[in-house]
Structure 1
């Protein structure tokens, strides 16, 4: 069986790592991000992949280097003599000397060359794509520019980021096994640079919305679950909503159009949203109707 060094950090990577272990690949080592301080108490917390190995008492060496550029890291990987290095949402760039040790296969959560970069799933949802997928790519020194080995397409319409991450993680796990087992018979496909698009790392401020376009707000809501979420300039968070209409035009946004049992309809300059759960900064989560009652707002009033 093939000897694998696995490099990955979040839940997406854990799904792939678990499948490789279940399929009896010989995992020589896990390389993952260093433990991070999490929450208000800043508790030092391991990555999802590291926690998975520790919690299940799986005896695989774990490495958490702050950089892959140190010669000692290169020497450690070289000594392990892997047949493949599998990379899935690791969060670090592999330098050329490591890329040259063995074929490095990346599990990228888009159909390359579309959405190269750090946020392919969120970007596909933001753009309202009905289809997405995952591919195995032979890594080179560029940003997601390597030759494509295999890919799987799937439907993501109206799915949120959590659902799409879960879907693509399981597809990636199966695809990784296929690529490793059939590597010698796969003909790599060069990416078409004319079709390449790029996506950036998501930041907290990306969740800021204005009530201009209901459809765009809905896609942002789906893309930014669970983080950073979506919120107005005054800090008011929309935690659960639905798209009711995407075409109707209104002269002014933020009017309460209709009261419902646990929600309310809200106008945008274009379109209507159903606001189901809402939260002010530092306060508890409320259903939409309860929030309006507390603010003494009624049908025809404006949210702000």
Structure 2
């Protein structure tokens, strides 16, 4: 029986934790997650998904504000364990904890590519057709530790972020069990820092688009739906779109060049998009035909 401390916060980590709990030869002795946070306009104090699972299975739960605090470090060092598993926890582990037991991190990219906070979205933004999950030994840097094993995952050109999230989460859960069971058979391999790339935390501002490049807009749509979504300078959200053409160049960006019963085609400086649904600022989502009729827009007009 392998005893582990689990550290994680969002749904990605929750599903890995659930898989670990369901595995007979692994025992979760403690769970660490971020403190509850206010969510939404009403700022309702909401527990992270990992906390809910820990409570469901009556696993000792800790939510320190800072993992580096002396009391928190002492607390962890007093918990005997064989491994510490970390998945999207959101805090850097101090050296004392890294030395307590092998710390295994599950990162949703093929490291050293896409170190940082948003690897799944970055995969879609860049139009990659392959990604994966890396199991690595943690060190004090951000996603810089020695690699234990990588599981690759194919990415369809129309795959949305939620579907890719589910695929990578399942892969990460299975990889976690594999690495815990076979840890001593793997030879850690150093990352090539010269090949490293980074991705930042996503903000609402990242969803802003202009009709420049249809492929780039479509990739943003795949990466940022449902949040933060993609939207024009007017505040109009593009809620359901397809890539119509990606290579044609146009002098007039944003021009409506085709209208049918369910959609319109809009030009970009490079390529074109087919749009099915939109959401005007402070209004409900609607089909695009109703929107252009209400705005009295037709062929050759500009979508704003």
Deviations 1:210-255 (A, max 9, x none): 1000000000111112211111111111111000100111111111
Q: Distance in 1 between matches of 2:20 and 2:82?
A: 14
Residues 1:81 and 2:96 are matched in the alignment? no
Residues 1:281 and 2:289 are matched in the alignment? no
Match for residue 223 of structure 2?
Answer: 223
Residue 54 of structure 2 contacts residue 60 of structure 2 at CA under 8 Å; is this kept in 1?
Answer: no
Match for residue 140 of structure 2?
Answer: 141
Q: Deviation above 6 Å: which 4+ runs of structure 1? A: none
Q: Distance in 2 between matches of 1:4 and 1:262?
A: 53
Q: CA deviation at 1:268?
A: 0.7
Q: Distance in 2 between matches of 1:49 and 1:86?
A: 13
TM-score (norm 2): 0.97
* Secondary structure at 2:78 match in 1: helix
Match for residue 45 of structure 2?
Answer: 44
Q: CA deviation at 1:275?
A: 0.8
Q: Distance in 2 between matches of 1:51 and 1:300?
A: 53
* Secondary structure at 2:216 match in 1: helix
Residues 1:161 and 2:153 are matched in the alignment? no
Q: Distance in 2 between matches of 1:190 and 1:174?
A: 23
Match for residue 131 of structure 2?
Answer: 132
* Secondary structure at 1:80 match in 2: coil
Unaligned runs of 5+ in 1: none
TM-score (norm 1): 0.97
Q: RMSD between aligned alpha carbons?
A: 1.0
Residues 1:31 and 2:13 are matched in the alignment? no
Match for residue 67 of structure 2?
Answer: 68
Q: Distance in 2 between matches of 1:77 and 1:53?
A: 17
How does 1:1-304 map onto structure 2 within 5 Å?
1-24=1-24, 25-54=26-55, 57-157=56-156, 158-304=158-304
* Secondary structure at 2:66 match in 1: coil
Q: CA deviation at 1:52?
A: 2.8
Q: Distance in 1 between matches of 2:250 and 2:32?
A: 53
Q: Distance in 2 between matches of 1:196 and 1:227?
A: 26
Residue 262 of structure 1 contacts residue 290 of structure 1 at CA under 8 Å; is this kept in 2?
Answer: no
Q: Distance in 1 between matches of 2:27 and 2:62?
A: 16
Q: CA deviation at 1:175?
A: 0.2
